Amino acid sequence: MQAKFDLSKLTNAQLLEYEALLKQTAIDDKLLALKKINDKTPKNYAFLYNALHDQKFNGDKLVSGYIGVVLEGSARSRKTRSVLDFIVHICLHVEHKAVITIVKETYNEFKTTLYNDFREVLDEYGLDNPFDRLKEVDSFKIGKNIITFVGADQPKKFEGLGSDYVYFNEMLPIEKSIFASATMRCSKMWIGDYNPSVTEHWVYKLPLDPKVGFLRTTFRDNPFIPLNQKLSILSREPYLPDSYYIHNEIELWYNGAIISETNEPPPHPENVENGTADLFRWKVYGLGLRGAMKGVILNNVTMIEKSDVPDVGYSYGIDFGFTIDPTVVTRNWHYGNDTYSEVLTYHPIDNSQDLIDLLESLGVEKYLPITCDSSDRYTSGNNGAVEMVVALQDAGYEASKVSKTKGVMYWLNLLKNRNIKIVKSDLGRKAKLEAENYRYKEINGVSINQPIDKYNHWVDSLRYDFMSYMDECIVESEWM
């Protein structure tokens, strides 16, 4: 029988040495676990590990493994932590001089999220930790491998940016063009993760590529979730557990049909009584299902066929985009409490002649009102909003700049009370995606009564036209 180890007999120096030995043993166990996949390994990490280590090529053709991995899941499903563990594994067990690029929507977001995550991870693995010493870290090393943070709001940084690995953290707000630019220059593997907080997105199509792996997880797949966090997520469940089910991996069903106001399961007695039940949060953060963004301003938007548009008069709206943002031209019908919108174009146009040629090709009538963006903040040479409208007028169009005499929220609140219907098309889906992401600003997690300055190109085009429809006096046709 092994004798008990008596710590009381150790000197202070021996105790310190013993504590250091225990700490190093714990670190060694964690590092060893990165190379051993078993039933206790978090699902996201195991998926990433196998995706890379199963990579085999026949010439330039991938025959096993994946070159890209999409991790979709609820809150606390250990997506981000699994990726960071995977990065440590790459740096310590796979590569010697790799370049790993991490992308978020903006650079500043690293400071409130991944800074803290990396601080914890590097300490746990006993690695040099610049996040303990520095207020700002744009890159650091693990061994001779370089990890760099890049914000997707700085597109020029992606020009010529080569990487061995790219990680898109919370990737839904990241533009497709940024994703394409970064992955085109990625030599070994890319990873993207997100909470599925919108119903449609270009990211959801990535797993259709057989070279891209896809895994959906929830908080139940995380063996390390703290109990208080698990209880907090469970408190959001609005319905009695096991009384409903997930259909086709995207919808909640009850009694053989999708849950609706007339077909609802029994309520969760405790959560409803406590006021914590929240269907949106439960679907997205509890079940990991695709839903509508919290704080969406226009939640009254649906898609319709062109044949469903009434036979009434219409007019046009234009929101200008020049190099990155799209120029959006919409044809709009306002009838009773319904507004119908058809998206005619959705791409940057940097000069007036191209815009005029496009309007002519679309058959936009010169005698109908076109209400345009009046902002001069994008002026470049002679191609600002003012110059665009003047050129349209010179070409014979009834174009006017909108006079923004009332705040944006005034007009959005009016639109919120209407039934907005987008004509189905590829461009119409872009507008619907905007509507699902166009939301109120948040300060420290609290929504304020102002919209974000993103996902607003279609809605601005519609809003300008609606402003003209509601009050002809707010448009100006004269410039002097």
Task: State pLDDT tens for residues 224-252.
Answer: 899 999 999 999 999 999 999 998 777 89
Domain extent listing, the chain: 19-30+41-220, 227-286, 301-476
- Encoding tokens for residue 408? 């944006």
Query: Would you state the pLDDT for residue 337?
Result: 93
CATH of domain 301-476: 3.30.420.280
Model pLDDT, residue 475:
41
Task: Report pLDDT for 323.
Answer: 83
If you classify domain 19-30+41-220 with CATH, what class do you get? alpha beta
**What integer pLDDT is reported at residue 376 of this predicted model?**
53
Stretch 136-152: mean pLDDT:
95
What is the Cα–Cα distance from 243 to 257, expressed in whole angstroms?
Answer: 13
**Interacting residues of 147 by C-beta distance below 8 A, sequence separation 6+:** 87, 91, 100, 102, 139, 140, 141
Q: What's the chain look like in SS3?
A: CCCCCCHHHCCHHHHHHHHHHHHHHHHHHHHHHCCCCCCCCCHHHHHHHHHHHCCEEECCEEEECCCEEEEEECCCCCHHHHHHHHHHHHHHHHCCCCEEEEEECCCCHHHHCHHHHHHHHHHHCCCCCHHHCCCCCCEEEECCEEEEEEECCCHHHHCCCCEEEEEECCCCCCCHHHHHHHHHCEEEEEEEEECCCCCCCHHHHHHHCCCEEEEEECHHHCCCCCHHHHHHHHCCCCECCCCCEEECCCEEEECCEECECCECCCECHHHHHHCCCCHHHHHHHHCCCCCCCCCECCCCEEEECHHHCCCCCCEEEEECCCCCCCEEEEEEEEECCEEEEEEEEEECCCCHHHHHHHHHHHCCCCCCEEEECCCCCCCCCCCCHHHHHHHHHHCCCEEEEECCCCCHHHHHHHHHCCEEEEECCHHHHHHHHHHHHCEEEEECCEEEEEECCCCCHHHHHHHHHHHHHHCHHHEECCCC
Q: What is the pLDDT of residue 441?
A: 83
181-214 tens-digit pLDDT = 999 999 999 999 998 877 778 999 999 999 999 9
For residue 460, pLDDT over 50 is answered with: yes
- Strand pairing of 369-372 and 212-217? unpaired
The mean per-residue pLDDT over the stretch 36-46 comes to: 93
Q: Based on the number of CB atoms within 10 Å of its own CB, is 148 exposed (0-12), middle (13-18) or buried (19 or more)? A: middle
Rounded CA-CA distance 154/103 in Å is 10
pLDDT digits 0-9 by tens, 147-174: 999 999 888 888 888 999 999 999 998 9
* Predicted pLDDT of residue 476: 40
Closest CA to 172 of 251, 278, 298, 290: 290
Q: C-alpha angle with apex 431: 428 to 435, nearest 5 degrees?
A: 140
d(CA 405, CA 394): 26
Q: What is the mean pLDDT of residues 401-424?
A: 89
- Work out the mean pLDDT of the chain and round it to a whole number: 89
Looking up tokens 């890379």, which residue turns up?
52
pLDDT at 280: 80
Q: What is the pLDDT of residues 291-335, one digit of tens each?
A: 766 788 998 899 999 999 999 999 999 999 988 889 999 999 999
Confidence of residue 445 (pLDDT cuts 50, 70, 90): low
**Predicted TM-score (pTM) of this structure:** 0.70
Q: How confident is the model at residue 379 (pLDDT cuts 50, 70, 90)?
A: very low
Flag the least confident range among 20-29, 32-41, 416-425: 20-29
Residues contacting 337, CB < 8 A, separation 6+: 417, 418, 419
Kindly tell me if the per-residue pLDDT of 381 is higher than 50: no
Band (pLDDT 50/70/90 cuts) for residue 9 is confident
CA distance 87 to 44: 13
Residue 38 has pLDDT above 70, yes or no: yes
pLDDT tens, position by position, 65-108: 999 999 999 888 999 999 999 999 999 999 999 999 999 998 88
- The owner of tokens 């120029």 is 327
| Rounded Cα–Cα distance for residues 295 and 480 (Å) | 40
Q: Looking at the predicted structure, is the pLDDT value of residue 378 above 80?
A: no
Query: In this predicted model, which residue has the larger pLDDT, 480 or 100?
Result: 100
pLDDT at 446: 65
Q: Has residue 368 got a pLDDT over 80?
A: yes
**What is the Cβ-side half-sphere exposure of residue 91, based on CA atoms within 13 angstroms?**
22
**What is the C-alpha separation between 408 and 26, in angstroms, rounded?**
56
For the chain, give the number of residues: 480
Q: Which two tokens stand for residue 349?
A: 């146009």
